[in-house]
Structure 1
């Protein structure tokens, strides 16, 4: 599968499927580059991979009805909670890995938007601990 269009991605926060409210999902991970240059590096910078970190970004279509998105997210503010993301909501497998971990619910904007626009919430939460990729 050389190309893919995201049509039915999956996002779960604290074991609650919030895919129906999501219009953007981005899981980003990176490794810090630590300078290991010495006089024996012959004038070339040498680097080693250091600490890993990540973030989970999402755009949600707000829903404040009882038991819906805002009621799910509001109590989680300030807590570390588990997440799961997949490119497709199909079963997990070699062609549809799942990425899991924990994020700090650092921000929630229950009201955002302008006149005549869809009420959306944009978030970016830092990961806490390891992010895993599994195919089963």
Structure 2
């Protein structure tokens, strides 16, 4: 599969026109429950789950564009949705939804001659749900 038309929405704003990269990573804490009955083998169980929505955007400072959308969200927990393709969610195009904390925004980064991009990682708050409709 090649990603050609990924879908990203943050706070009900579809950001496909600005998005170069969106990745959702999830993990579960590893809790050590090793005891003497483990016979020298480490035993683990899953603990708290967490996730992060990593994004790379092409910056745009024009009125009602990317910076004007994201700046007011700083410090807020807002909904997100991400899909591998912009088509409707389906069994072959699942969607992941939840809430993220906009814990930072880097409006200006780069060097001479670079494209103006913003790379951010937003932690999720609460459950991340996978759905096919």
TM > 0.5:
yes
Q: Equivalent residue for 2:124?
A: 127
1:38 deviation in Å?
Answer: 0.9
Unpaired runs of 5+ residues, structure 1, are none
Query: Normalising by the residue count of structure 1, what TM-score does the alignment of the two structures yield?
Result: 0.96
The answer on 1:25 being equivalent to 2:22 is yes
1:16 deviation in Å?
Answer: 0.4
Q: Equivalent residue for 1:36?
A: 33
Deviations 1:51-79 (A, max 9, x none): 00010000000001000100000000011
Matches of 1:127 and 1:78 in 2, distance apart? 13
1:117 deviation in Å?
Answer: 1.2
Query: Normalising by the residue count of structure 2, what TM-score does the alignment of the two structures yield?
Result: 0.99
Choose from 57, 73, 76 the match for 1:76. 73
1:116 deviation in Å?
Answer: 1.2
Unpaired runs of 5+ residues, structure 2, are none
What pairs up with 1:56-95 in 2 under 5 angstroms? 56-95=53-92
Number of positions where the alignment pairs a residue of Structure 1 with one of Structure 2: 133
Matches of 2:113 and 2:132 in 1, distance apart? 42
Q: Equivalent residue for 1:10?
A: 7
Matches of 2:125 and 2:48 in 1, distance apart? 12
Structure 1 runs (4+) greater than 6 angstroms displaced: none
Deviations 1:89-134 (A, max 9, x none): 0111000000000010011011111111110000001111000000
Matches of 1:92 and 1:40 in 2, distance apart? 47
Matches of 1:105 and 1:99 in 2, distance apart? 17
